[in-house]
Amino acid sequence: MKVLKFGGTSVGSAERMKALVQLINDGEPKIVVLSAMSGTTNSLVEIGVALYAKEHQKANSLIDVLEKKYKDVITQLYSGAPALQKGRELLDSHFNYLRSFTMDLFTVNEERAILAQGELLSTALFHYYLEEIGVESVLLPALNFMRIDENEEPDLKYIEAHIKPELAKYAGKKLFITQGYICRNAFGEIDNLKRGGSDYTATIVGAAIQSDEIQIWTDIDGMHNNDPRIVDKTHPIAELSFDEAAELAYFGAKILHPTCILPAQTRNIPVRLLNTMQPEAKGTVITSKVSGDSIKAVAAKDGITAIKIKSGRMLLAYGFLRSVFEIFERYKTPIDMITTSEVAVSLTIDNTRHLEAIKKELQEFCSVEVDTDQTIVCIVGNFSAAKQGFALRVFESLKNIPIRMISYGGSENNISILVDGKLKKDTLVALNKGLF
């Protein structure tokens, strides 16, 4: 059984939902994971913010605007009275639910319940549409099997144990529709896999049922070799390994949720990235196979903060890095890039929530310099240590760009460099010219 995930734009209008049927109705068994209609989760976030602030009037008017949008969708989606009636009842129940929070106590639990409404709506609306046009499908409630543990990590054992009996209830059925993004937490409360998490749902479900293939359908024809918003003439990469795809997703390729590679990689299930607007395009396939000794793609991640930590005590000493890292660990701040010399170490972070506190602790035993608005540019491919010439090609391309940090050899798939954020575009363009 395959798992196919469609993002917000792929279900973003009645027209797009109708077009989706052609992509899933081929009689092959499959689980279809849907995001909320595009824009919905953002609106729900705004509604949550207004409710937190007790701005009930504002919340109500945001709810009205969203409801109006959905009312238009159902009139465009359904043609017969019974489906329209079901659609109306569905909207009534979800929007009345949203309105009920303006009267009650509002906490983080209510906020998560609100965020879940987008995927509950899109999947039910689509399921009713299939019903109206006579395509048999089963609406599978993700809240019955998707679960995260105390560390907010997907609980694969639980998910596996619960999705299988859920599917077994419908022996002989082939088309299952379920919600991306939403789940329950260790306390059984409604929760989610964080923004963009529908991709993650698809790979977790794929892993749990040991699927043949996971397909992520978006509106671009696969992962590109460079950022198409910044550089002209980029092209989709036909094949990537799990490690290469994870590096690219983490360092800026927006097409895929970075954590979603792991479940597929753990169970060795191919992930195919495909384009709803151009279904015949080959897209990108991500597997365990490492192909070709080559530079495949570059991606950039903005808003990076670089910290240079210098201390005479580092010279010939051991334990120095441990004391540095311990501080970041205590403040739950992940480090992305790191380079060292004998007397100093430079590292980068993305999350600066605890920067001031970290700085203060570091300053107790070293000098600290902070540079904000930096960009990590990551060059991905297969650079085995035995092969020569990759670094030369990268740096030859960048001969006119001042570089703040370089990281090479951390893995066989990645060379990362740090540049001033203002130079991002120049860097991507120079690499495109020099490498591809």
> 46: burial class by Cβ within 10 Å (0-12, 13-18, 19+)?
middle
Q: Does 196 contact Mg ion by CB under 5 A?
A: yes
Shortest separation between residue 117's beta carbon and Mg ion, angstroms: 18
Shortest separation between residue 197's beta carbon and ligand ASP, angstroms: 5
- 301 contacts 251 by C-beta, under 8 angstroms: yes
How many C-alpha atoms does 306 have within 13 Å on its Cβ side? Answer: 24
CB atoms within 10 A of CB 344: 15
Q: Hey, what are 15's tokens? A: 């027209």
Shortest separation between residue 196's beta carbon and ligand ASP, angstroms: 5
With CB under 5 to 8 Å by kind, the binding choice for 41 among ligand ASP, Mg ion, none is ligand ASP
Q: Which CB atom, from 182 or from 349, has the smaller least distance to Mg ion?
A: 182
- Torsion angles phi and psi, residue 5, rounded to 5: -110, 135
Q: Which CB atom, from 202 or from 380, has the smaller least distance to Mg ion?
A: 202
Residue 54 Ramachandran class (φ > 0 left, ψ -120 to 50 alpha, else beta): left
Of 195-203, 230-238, 258-266, 268-276, which segment contacts ligand ASP by CB under 6 A? 195-203
Q: Does 48 contact ligand ASP by CB under 6 A?
A: no
Shortest separation between residue 215's beta carbon and ligand ASP, angstroms: 15
With CB under 5 to 8 Å by kind, the binding choice for 203 among Mg ion, ligand ASP, none is none
Q: Does 197 contact ligand ASP by CB under 6 A?
A: yes
- Torsion angles phi and psi, residue 190, rounded to 5: -65, 135
Calpha distance 6→36 (Å, rounded): 9
**Residues 165-184 interacting with ligand ASP (rule: CB under 6 A):** 180-181
Q: Does 12 contact ligand ASP by CB under 6 A?
A: no
Q: Hey, what are 280's tokens? A: 């015949």
Q: Does 196 contact ligand ASP by CB under 6 A?
A: yes
Shortest separation between residue 198's beta carbon and ligand ASP, angstroms: 3
- 35 contacts 6 by C-beta, under 8 angstroms: yes
Would you call 211 helix, strand, or coil by DSSP?
Answer: coil
Residues of this chain that bind ligand ASP (CB under 6 A): 7-8, 35-36, 41, 118, 180-181, 195-198
